[in-house]
Amino acid sequence: MSKTILISGASKGFGRAWTEAFLAKGYNVAATARNIEALSDLKTQYGDAILPLKLDVNNREDSFAVVQQVHQHFGKIDILINNAGYALNGAVEEASESEARAQFETNFFGTLWLTQAVLPIMRNQKSGHIIQVSSILGIAALPNLGIYNASKFAVEGLTETLASEVKQFGINVTLVEPNGYATDIWGQGFNSKSIEAYDGLKKAIVDGHNPDSFGKTSATVPAILKLVEAENPPLRLFLGKVALPFAKQTYEQKLATWEEWADVSVAAHG
């Protein structure tokens, strides 16, 4: 049977590549974006198989309305992919209130709204798969991306909890955690006002950049197809060759610190 997939942030990056792949496989795709004109060529090519919908995921009411529209149009929603997001560059001290709130509105709350909207449909179907596009930076932080890191850490906590709550309804949940990829997320001009004290750190980051650590967006297509077709999908899936080594290093350091302070921790129990 053909799957029906609702994906946000479908106009570019991962969203565009995955939407094309789903359509080529014969799936029905509800593709949301702030700019749906970027999807006009796919509408011409695939006709009724794609339903482009304008959506700003920051708007909870609109997110719920779009989900209802998709359900009425296709009759079901098998898979939700929360892909919309962006990265705010800057040290933690540099982020303004409006910048920090806007980052969370899109990356965290936008994910929450679409998730909440689709859950009654999937519970009624007694099936479904919710895929949250997180990041390796949702489990291991890097400097100069503190607010972005925090938004993805929040998505991780939300999604782990969600998975334990909805398994009883036949709903699967997956966190997709890419390492760096050459997508627009890093070049959209979302930069906090610079504080000179952090210039040295930023220069060191630029000087230490290794292009080989960034994957190719097109290379993720086979992985995402395998994920949406899996009968028993994993809770977590890394994308890219850098993510697992980075995660191992991060958790080894955390465990070592916890072990070093274990006596203090146990004594604090009382």
CA dist., res. 232 & res. 11, Å (int)? 29
Among residues 46, 86, 152, 181, the one annotated as catalytic is 152
* Token code pair at residue 60: 């909870």
Residues comprising the chain, all counted: 270
Helix ranges restricted to H, the chain = 13-24, 40-46, 60-74, 97-104, 110-125, 146-166, 199-207, 221-229, 243-260, 262-267
Beta-carbon contacts of residue 188 (< 8 Å; ≥ 6 apart)? 86, 87
Residue type for position 242: V
Do residues 10 and 32 make contact, with C-beta atoms less than 8 angstroms apart?
Answer: yes
Active site residue 134: yes
Among residues 46, 86, 148, 181, the one annotated as catalytic is 148
Active site residue 148: yes
Among residues 63, 134, 151, 192, the one annotated as catalytic is 134
CA dist., res. 258 & res. 232, Å (int)? 33
CA angle 262, 263, 265 (to 5 degrees): 60
Active site residue 25: no
Q: 34, exposed or middle or buried, with CB in 10 Å at 0-12, 13-18, 19+?
A: middle
* Token code pair at residue 20: 């094309």
Residue 232 three-state SS: coil
For the annotated catalytic residues, the residue numbers are 134, 148, 152
